[in-house]
Structure 1
Amino acid sequence: MTTFGTAEAAPGETATGRLEVGETRDGAAFGLPVAVINGAEDGKTLYVQAVSDGDELNGVGVLRRVVPRLDPAEISGTILVTAIVNYHAFQVARHRNPIDDTKMNRAYPGDAEGTSSERIAHATFEAASRADLIVDLHQGSTSRMIDEVRVRCGRRHRLHEECLELAKVFGAGYVLDQKGPDGQLARAGPDEGVPTIDPELGGSVGWDEASVQTGVDGLYNVLAHYGFLPGDANYGDQTRAAGFDQYGAPRGGLVEFAADLGDRVQSGDPLFEVTTPFGERKAEVTAEENGILWRSRRLPQVATGEYVCSIGVDVDTY
Structure 2
Amino acid sequence: MQRIDHLLPWSCPGTERHLSVFRFGSGPCKAYIQASLHADELPGMRVAVELKRRLRELEAQGRLTGVIELVPLANPIGLGQMLQASHQGRFELASGKNFNRDFFALAEAIAPALEGCLGPDGPTNVRLIRTAMLAALDALPPAASELQGLQHLLLRHACDADLVLDLHCDFDAVVHLYLLPQQWPQLRSLAARLQAEAVLTMEDSGGGSFDENCALPWLHLSRRFPEAAIPLACLAVTVELGGMADTERPRAEASAEQILACLAEQGLIAGDWPSAPEPCCEATPFAGTQYAYAPHAGVVSFLQPVGARVKLGDPLFEVIDPLDDRHSIVCAATDGVLYARERMRFAQPGLWLAKVAGRTPIRQGRLLSD
Which TM-score band applies after superposition, normalised by the shorter structure?
Answer: 0.7 to 0.9
- 2:35 and 2:166 in contact (8 A); partners too: yes
The AA in structure 2 aligned to 1:119 is G
Displacement after TM superposition at 1:102 (Å): 2.1
CA distance in 1, matches of 2:74, 2:68: 16
> In the alignment, what sits opposite 1:258?
303
Q: 2:95 aligns with which of 82, 89, 100?
A: 100
- Rate the CA distance shift 1:112–1:165 in 2: closer, same or farther, 3 A: farther
TM-score normalised by length of structure 2:
0.71
CA distance in 1, matches of 2:93, 2:331: 38
What aligned pairs does 1:74-223 form with structure 2 within 5 A after superposition? 74-92=63-81, 93-94=87-88, 95-109=90-104, 113-114=142-143, 115-140=145-170, 143-151=171-179, 153=180, 155=181, 160-161=182-183, 164-166=185-187, 168-171=189-192, 172=194, 173=196, 174-178=198-202, 179-190=204-215, 191-192=217-218, 193-205=233-245, 207=247, 212-213=252-253, 215-223=255-263
Q: 1:69 aligns with which of 49, 54, 57?
A: 54
**Tell me, what secondary structure is at the counterpart of 2:160?**
coil
- 2:43 and 2:245 in contact (8 A); partners too: no
Structure (1/2) with the larger helix percentage: 2
Identity of aligned residues (%): 21
- 1:170 and 1:219 in contact (8 A); partners too: no
CA distance in 2, matches of 1:24, 1:228: 36
Displacement after TM superposition at 1:217 (Å): 3.7
Displacement after TM superposition at 1:247 (Å): 1.2
The AA in structure 2 aligned to 1:59 is G
In structure 1, runs of 5+ residues without a counterpart are: 1-13
The AA in structure 1 aligned to 2:13 is D
Displacement after TM superposition at 1:253 (Å): 2.2
- 1:175 and 1:239 in contact (8 A); partners too: yes
**Tell me, what secondary structure is at the counterpart of 1:139?**
strand
**Tell me, what secondary structure is at the counterpart of 1:289?**
coil
Count of residues paired in the alignment: 290
- 2:190 and 2:259 in contact (8 A); partners too: no
TM-score normalised by length of structure 1:
0.81
> In the alignment, what sits opposite 2:123?
none
Deviation per CA, 1:80-119, whole angstroms, max 9, x where unpaired?
Answer: 1122222111112322223433222113237552332222
Structure (1/2) with the larger strand percentage: 1
What aligned pairs does 1:20-39 form with structure 2 within 5 A after superposition? 20-39=7-26
CA distance in 2, matches of 1:294, 1:223: 26
Displacement after TM superposition at 1:211 (Å): 5.8
In structure 2, runs of 5+ residues without a counterpart are: 82-86, 105-136, 219-232, 361-370
Matched, 1:293 2:338: yes
Matched, 1:242 2:263: no
Backbone CA RMSD of aligned residues: 2.6
